[in-house]
Chains A and B, each alone.
Chain A
Amino acid sequence: MTKGFFKGEVPRHILIISAIAGLITLVGFLLFYPVPSPPVSKMEHARKTLSNARKEGADTYSTTLFTEAIEYYDSAMTNWRSENMRFIYSRDYNKVSFYAGLSSDKAELAAEDSKNTLSELETRLKQKIGALNVLITEINELFTSYPLAYEVRNRISKGKMLLKESEIAFNNRQYLQADRKMTDAETLLTTSFENASSNLKSYFKSYPEWRKWINQTIAESRQDSGYSIIIDKFSRKCVIYFNGIKKYQYNAELGRNWVGDKRVSGDKATPEGMYKIIRKFKSDSTKYYKALLLDYPNNEDTAKFISDIAKGILPVSAKIGGMIEIHGNGGKGVDWTEGCIALTDREMDTVFKIIEIGTPVTIVGSMYNLQHVLNR
């Protein structure tokens, strides 16, 4: 085929020129047509606000707001990425801008909230540490020598340890950890204190009755010009009166669960009441060196025991127990008997010699009232 122009045909050079012109126009369009611009400064602001919030501890002390701020920032980034995948001239960064704004707002709120929370927490923890240390001092003063239940004593020890751990966390500015430990310590210490206090108050509730028994026992000794024995459980004393006058006083050891009246056989409690010596055991008849047997249970003990069973306080199968004695083998420094009163063998020699069958033995919770005991 020969080169040439046919009728109606556009010359080739015109076509080429047109194509080049088209391309130049396209390139010009690409170069100069405004491209949608992303909210770079807004995103930067959001990022810096988040970073500042983290520095203020918002990731720990204002978790909800901070998490929301992070989620909004992530949404902004996700939208930004997604818009960047689209054709450059059809991108729309409005959502990116919207989420970036929300993220900044939330991060600012989180930073402020964290600052406030931290400040409040610091003040509150400081106050609580002080208050709990005061409570510990009070517990130590009141109950160090009081025979608290093993469980209560354990809870107090645990509470003290947790308070110490809380103080260490507080000093390291680990306030949340300090708060958690403080809450546990507070629960342990306050419940133990309430328990011990109510125990002590309830223990001394019977004091007026004990006082009557004591007066009656001393009066009886005076009247008969004879001996009578008073056992003070709280101060662990065995006091011997003659002719109404205190003649001997010994340290006594009691049943492991000496607080409160004896209720049932095997409860290791020392009974409270007015008793008499009904039998004397020499060394060859007791394993506790020498012993003076009391008339426990007396009529009152039996009546109370029956009533407790009737009320369902004690099971029907319960037994009242017996063989409560004043005996030797004491001096161990702890309450170890099954409910008896233990003296040292040397003291027992004296007591055994002077005390006759029929001698009154009154066992009371305390010879002194609660106020006197607390002020000792």
Chain B
Amino acid sequence: MKNKVLLGLAAVAMVAFLASCGKAPQAQIDATNAAIEAAKAAEANVYLPAEFAQVQDSLNAVLANIEAKKSKLFKNFSDEKVKLDSTLALANQVAANVGAKKDEVKKEAETLLTDIKAVIEQNTKLFPKLPKGKEGAAVIEQIKSELATVDNSVVEAQGLFDKGAFMDALNKIKAAKEKADGLNTEIKDALTKARIKF
């Protein structure tokens, strides 16, 4: 008789265990969330928006699956644990990739900054040699004003670069570089036309 009682209690315990003992992998969820936040802090949403969105989607899917499992009488989160592991790995990968992408953009911005400074230096040297003909004064004023605008733009771009906003800096420098190159050609053309050596 005693055995029968024990058997009954064991059955109840088993049901209770199956019904409630499968615990949600909260620690993994927290770790994945932290990894996503770290990727965001590294500006993954700016430099690698598609990859970052994929990580977010993946976590949302796992969280929904976990709730779906929690809604059942018997819970088993082993699949979700595996998925959380892969989402965590993906988040870490994106964070690592964003560093590489940022370095790439930073390098491009750095190279352009060096290039544009050289062009500006040449423009500054050539500018005083421009012919001052009858209509030259206003033309010179125009070129002077545009050179000053390029200078300001480079200062702004340098400021963005120093703040770590490499993407914004790059876009600004690209525009300034195009302008500086255009002015360089304009000045050289004017000097060539006036047969002034440079």
Name A161's contact: one of B15, B19, B140, B179 (CB within 8 Å).
B179
The SS class assigned to the A binding surface is: helix
The answer to whether A157 and B68 have CB atoms under 8 Å apart is no
The answer to whether B60 and A47 have CB atoms under 8 Å apart is yes
* A interface, size bucket: 35 or more
The answer to whether B71 and A38 have CB atoms under 8 Å apart is yes
Residues of A near B72 (CB, < 8 A) are 35
Does A30 touch B at the CB level, under 8 Å? yes
The SS class assigned to the B binding surface is: helix
Residues of B near A134 (CB, < 8 A) are none
Q: Which residues of B (109-159) have their CB < 8 Å from a CB of A?
A: 131-142, 145-146, 148-150, 153
When C-beta atoms are compared, the residue in chain A nearest to B67 turns out to be A80
Name A333's contact: one of B140, B153, B176 (CB within 8 Å).
B140
Does B57 touch A at the CB level, under 8 Å? yes
When C-beta atoms are compared, the residue in chain A nearest to B54 turns out to be A51
CA distance A306 to B96 in the complex (A): 76
The answer to whether A20 and B8 have CB atoms under 8 Å apart is yes
When C-beta atoms are compared, the residue in chain A nearest to B133 turns out to be A333
Residues of B near A172 (CB, < 8 A) are 171
Please judge, given known A-B contacts A88-B73, A144-B139, whether A164 and B179 are in contact too, CB under 8 Å.
yes
Residues of B near A335 (CB, < 8 A) are 137
Residues of A near B140 (CB, < 8 A) are 333-334
The answer to whether A84 and B175 have CB atoms under 8 Å apart is no
- Give B147 Cβ to nearest chain A Cβ, in Å: 9
Please judge, given known A-B contacts A16-B4, A146-B138, A153-B141, whether A38 and B67 are in contact too, CB under 8 Å.
yes
Task: Give chain A's interface residues, CB within 8 Å of chain B.
Answer: 13, 16, 19-20, 23-24, 26-27, 30-31, 35-38, 40, 43-44, 47, 50-51, 54-55, 77, 80-81, 83-84, 88, 91, 93, 143-148, 150, 153-154, 156-158, 160-161, 164-165, 167-169, 172, 174, 177, 235-236, 251, 332-335
Task: Provide a sorted-by-A list of 14 A–B residue pairs whose CB atoms are within 8 angstroms.
Answer: A19-B8, A23-B12, A47-B60, A50-B60, A77-B67, A80-B71, A93-B71, A143-B138, A144-B138, A144-B139, A158-B149, A168-B175, A251-B134, A333-B136
